[in-house]
Structures are given as C-alpha cells and as structure tokens.
Structure 1
C-alpha cells in the first residue's frame, strides 16, 4: 500500500537574519542609538507638521469677525409673502391653503457643474394663466402699443411691457424673489438664534455686546450724561478735573475698548501681513503668481483681467491649454464657481485690491499706535487728543476698506447670481401660476436702465 504523499509547506521557513560581526546585536545596542533615532523621527514629524501648516496658511481665509458674521446672518435671512397674497392664492384655488411656514435651508452649491440645471424653474411666461379676474391682476394692452405691467395690491408686477426684464436667463436661472419685512425680521431672529448657539457664534455675540455696551457708556460720558460723576471729594463740581469720577471712568472705558479692538486688529494681523507680502511681491518684484494668489484669496469679490472671457466649463479639473494662466487664480482650486446666470462678472479694478489690503494693514498699524498711547503712557501724561483721534482713524479705515470689498462682492452677485433655496423655488413657481412676475435681478426691482437684463441674456446666449 503506497504511503500518502507528504504535504509540502507553501513557503520555506525564513532563515534567521544573519548579523555581521561588526554590527552590534539588539541586546548590545546602546540606548543612545534609540534616542538618536527618536529625536530624528520627532524632528521629521515636527518639520512636516510645520510645512503642512504653512501650506494651509498660504491659502486660508482669516476668521470672520463680528461684522462679517452679522452680514452673513443678514444675507441669509428669508422673508415670506404678504398675507393678502396668501388669501388671494386661496381664493384662486391654487397654492397652499395656508401661508408657507418659515424654512431655513442651505444654499444649493453648483460648483460641480459647468451649466447648472435650473430647468425645473424655467416656466415660459407665455404659459402663465393671465385671465383670472379674481386674482387682482390682469395685463392690459394698448391697441397701439405693447403690453404694460400693472401693479397688484402688494405691489408685485404682472406680465406686460417689461416681460423681458422678468424672464429667466437662457439656462433657466432666476434671481430670488423679494420678501416682506415682517417675515424677514422673524427669520432673522431664527437665524440669529442658530448662530449664537454655536461656540464661535456665542463668542462673537459676547464680544459684540461688550463693544456696544462699553462704546455706549463712553459716548454718554463724553456727552456729560451723568452730572453726578463730576462731583469731587472736596465738594467742587468740575467735569474736566483729572481726578473726577467722570475722567476716571473715561480712562477705564477707553482701556477696555482698546483691548476689544486689539482682538481683531492684532488677531487678524497674520492674514493681513500675508496679503500685504503678496501685494508687495507683485507691485515691487512684478511676480504675477503673487497677484493670482491674492485673486484666489479674495475670489468671492475679486475677478482677474480676462476671467470674463473664460468658458463656463473651466474649473479646477478642466483648464484648457488655450486659457491664459493670468486669468485664473492660484491655486486653481480657488477658481470661482460657474456663474448661475451664465454670465461672468467683469474684471475688478486692480486698485481696489491695493486699497483693501492697505486699509487692513493701516487698521493694524493704527491699533498698534493707539495701544502704545494707551499702555505706554498714563492718563496724566497722555495727550487728550490721542485716544479719540486714533480710535476714529482705526475704525474709519477698516470700515472703508471693508465697504469696498462688500460693494464689489454685491456687484459680482448681481451679475453672476446667488444660489436659490427651496423656498425661493416654491415662491417663484407659485407666483408664476398666479401670473405674478418678479424682476430678474438681485433687488427684484425694475432697473433704471432698460435693457440690462436683456443684455445679460444676450451675453449668456453668446457664451
């Protein structure tokens, strides 16, 4: 009887590692060898972390301050239709039986597509039912002229002469409709509550309360609103005496406000000096990459020369060889999202970038000068004019610079469009059914110059 074959091992056993006679064994290694390797590994890890943080800092945006957060809340507030329009919708037999409940939804991101799909909102105006006498609006026409727009009770335009200004863009996009003040206030309170219930929001809420409280108190003290604070221990009544309670409280109040202003003046200094460094590299050394970096950092409101001619499908992963790099921000991930309207905003004047950066740098420098007066001198030796002068200059220069960025951002949004929420879509669709037209611009108002919307539509067709 044959013996069963012996099973072979799938792999031969590994031979023990041979150690050279010159190399010390594991047991013979000195502790210094391990410590040296640990130190080298730690240095390598620390160096990699520093380089990683440096790369992230180069493209990072500064933390949003109190005013920026307030602006975001104001811009994200929704308001809703008038009660009269709701009753009108009920009587017409269309739309919901009760006013829409407030909804706060995130804006739809369209950065992933070259031509966002808005066809679900694109309802031709010719299909609108305009023959309902009980809706309070019926377009009329002169026998010798085109249709005219009439006003409803709520002031909404109906279809008529300015229909071209209410039509969607070629891709079907329509700007969000305008809402009433009562619901805007209601939703503002909801958005504010959601904001302050976060750690960062609660911090800026407390910060804002302190600025308003101490600033208001300083104003009242400067206006001599408290005559009792002018009484001196010796019985005299002198509001300008250096030892009066009024002057002491002005000093304490000013010191607290100076410390609060230092939070933004010095806290945002690293990002401000980074932008200043890139600006000087471009202006002095003529390095175009530095200018493109600035365009990427301020891509929400700044547009490079030539960017208005970029095809809509140009993105981080699609940059044709024919596209000049001078019209694309750096890094390429900072390329603005495709315009919702299909029309790109014109290039921003270069001097506005210089003005914005110099204003932010000026705010930090003026805050440093103010801190020098406040902390380096006592209230007996400090010039009386120094505090008010540098507080005013620091606030004004920061406000003016921020206002320029705000105006440019609003200009870009008025041309490229703003994301629509679900509530905006519902409102637009329902008003189309009711024959209520909305002017297709960011203000939902009739523009002063006719043809603005038609010109934008023409450009979108050409592109």
Structure 2
C-alpha cells in the first residue's frame, strides 16, 4: 500500500464511526443511477391521516361500509351460534320457531347477500382471467399460449413478477428497468392458484346462493350453508394471501437499504472530500 495513505488511518476511523451512526437511523434508500436519496419511513400518524383521507373517497367509503356490515352481521351470527342470548331460546334453542333460529336465518341471508356482492360483482373479471388462462395452458399454438400468459401477467402486474430475457429488451429499457422486475420471477403455479381460487369462490357463492334462495329454513339441510361458506372463504383466502405475500416480496425487492450502499464504501480507505458528510473513496495503489 502506498505510504501516503498511512496518515489517513485516524480519519478513516472517524469516517467509519460517522457512517455507523448514519446507518443507525431507520430510513429507506432509493437509488437513481449513481445517487442515493434517503426517504424516512412514514410515522403511524401519517399513515392514519392517509387512511382517513382514503376513507373519505367514494371507493374507500363503500369498502368501509361493506367491511363493517360483514363484521357486524358475522359477529352477531357467531354469538347466536354460541347461544350467547339464552332469552331467545324459547321454547328451546333448537326449535325452528324460537327467536334464535329466526335471527340465525336473517343473519345468514344478509351475509349471503353481502358475499354475493363480491362473488357476483367480480365475476366478469374472474371469467376474463380464466379465459386468458385457457389460452395460456391449453392453447393450440405457442403464440396463443404466450399471448395468454402475457395478458395474465399484465393484468396481475401489481403482484406477479414476470421473467424477462435480456435479449428481448432494448438496451435503454434494460437500464431503466426497476429493481422489482429484476427480482426472482414469481412461480407460474401461483398464477394458477390465484385464477382458480377466484373463479372457485364465485362458483361456491353461486351454490350457496342457490341453497339459500331455493329452499326455506325448514327444508334446507344445515350442512349446505356451512360447507359452501367454508369452501368459498378458503379458496378466496388462499388466493388473497398468496397475492399479498407476492406483492410484499416485490415491494421488498424494490427497496435498497442504506447498509447495502454504504458498508462496501466503508471497507475502503476514505478521506473527507469537501463539506461535512461528503466522502470520496481512494483506490490504493499497488
């Protein structure tokens, strides 16, 4: 190592200490070419204010009202099933003429109607995804299969990371490609699970609605309601959780923690370069 680097050992220790203090701050790094920008994480007050503003939008208000209804009527049904109100068990808790059984039927019909909002309301988009899935998996030609998969990946681009060949992309596009697209591609079987989970949720909801509307509470078998509600919730939950995990993974891959940018520089000899906090790395001469 060149002897002119020896007097800088003390300054190197000071600089490493400063960098260690900088890394102790809870912040996120975003990179644009050769520059790094520190963006502090939003506090819970900012998140709550953003959520309140979203609640004031038409979509947010509708989703909030829908969710509150599901929670309220679902909670009431749970309490009735647990015999939380003994006064309603007259002449007995299992009597079809008791207030408990009547309100169980009312709650079940209301919850069925609420589930139909999503099961039937999202059916056109789910059928579209299934249509593209058939092109992808059962297409006669390679071009049709590729077209179906490309369309599905574009529809679900908020959570699905499609693998891209470098030779198929222009040089300028590869340089500006975000880090999320450079992460590990999403396994293809997850697209199958999401498409079929969503379409099966609609199918099970149709079966539930047919049982609830075609038969009265005296003739309807009790197992039909529990079976179709459980199946519809399971398939929708699996698809939703899978999309949430993949979206979280893509978001994590797109972030650049400050430690990944600053630690390699700290391992090299560095000297102050100009103003405080501005450091320039020096390559040792052999």
Task: Report TM bin, short chain.
Answer: 0.7 to 0.9
The aligned residue for residue 268 of structure 1 is 122
**How far 1:354 moved relative to its partner?**
0.9
The aligned residue for residue 177 of structure 2 is 338
Query: Do structure 1's residue 291 and structure 2's residue 154 form an aligned pair?
Result: no
Structure 1 unaligned spans of 5+ = 1-126, 132-137, 141-146, 159-164, 233-237, 316-336, 419-436, 442-449, 452-463
The 3-state SS of whatever aligns with 1:313 is helix
In the TM superposition, 1:76-225 aligns within 5 A as 139=17, 157=24, 171-173=34-36, 176-178=39-41, 183-184=43-44, 186-225=45-84
The aligned residue for residue 400 of structure 1 is 238
- Distance in 1 between the 2:157 and 2:181 partners? 16
- Distance in 2 between the 1:213 and 1:354 partners? 33
8 Å CA contact retained: 2:30, 2:38: no
Task: List per-residue Cα deviations over 1:31-64 (Å, max 9, x = no partner).
Answer: xxxxxxxxxxxxxxxxxxxxxxxxxxxxxxxxxx
Query: Do structure 1's residue 365 and structure 2's residue 232 form an aligned pair?
Result: no
Task: List per-residue Cα deviations over 1:217-269 (Å, max 9, x = no partner).
Answer: 1111111111111123xxxxx21111111111010001000000100100000
The aligned residue for residue 258 of structure 1 is 112
The aligned residue for residue 194 of structure 2 is 356
**How far 1:128 moved relative to its partner?**
11
Q: Structure 1 residues 175, 221: CA separation in 2 closer, same or farther (over 3 Å shift)?
A: farther
The aligned residue for residue 390 of structure 1 is 228
**How far 1:200 moved relative to its partner?**
2.1
The 3-state SS of whatever aligns with 1:224 is coil
Out of 95, 103, 111, the position equivalent to 1:249 is 103
**How far 1:284 moved relative to its partner?**
1.2
Asked which structure has the greater CA Rg, the reply is 1
Q: Which has the higher contact order (CA 8 A, sep 6+)?
A: 2
The aligned residue for residue 108 of structure 1 is none
**How far 1:378 moved relative to its partner?**
0.7
**How far 1:195 moved relative to its partner?**
1.7
Task: List per-residue Cα deviations over 1:397-433 (Å, max 9, x = no partner).
Answer: 1111011111112222222349xxxxxxxxxxxxxxx
8 Å CA contact retained: 2:29, 2:255: no
Query: Do structure 1's residue 228 and structure 2's residue 125 form an aligned pair?
Result: no
- Distance in 1 between the 2:100 and 2:180 partners? 60
- Distance in 1 between the 2:12 and 2:55 partners? 43
The aligned residue for residue 81 of structure 1 is none
Structure 2 unaligned spans of 5+ = 1-10, 265-286
Q: Structure 1 residues 361, 191: CA separation in 2 closer, same or farther (over 3 Å shift)?
A: same
8 Å CA contact retained: 1:295, 1:302: yes
8 Å CA contact retained: 2:93, 2:101: yes
- Distance in 2 between the 1:342 and 1:172 partners? 18
TM-score by length of 2: 0.74
In the TM superposition, 1:367-446 aligns within 5 A as 367-417=205-255, 438-439=258-259
The 3-state SS of whatever aligns with 1:314 is helix
Please state which structure has a larger fraction of its residues in helix. 2
The aligned residue for residue 303 of structure 1 is 161
- Distance in 1 between the 2:38 and 2:123 partners? 37
8 Å CA contact retained: 2:126, 2:195: yes
**How far 1:281 moved relative to its partner?**
1.4
TM-score by length of 1: 0.47
Instruction: Work out the number of aligned pairs and report it.
Output: 246
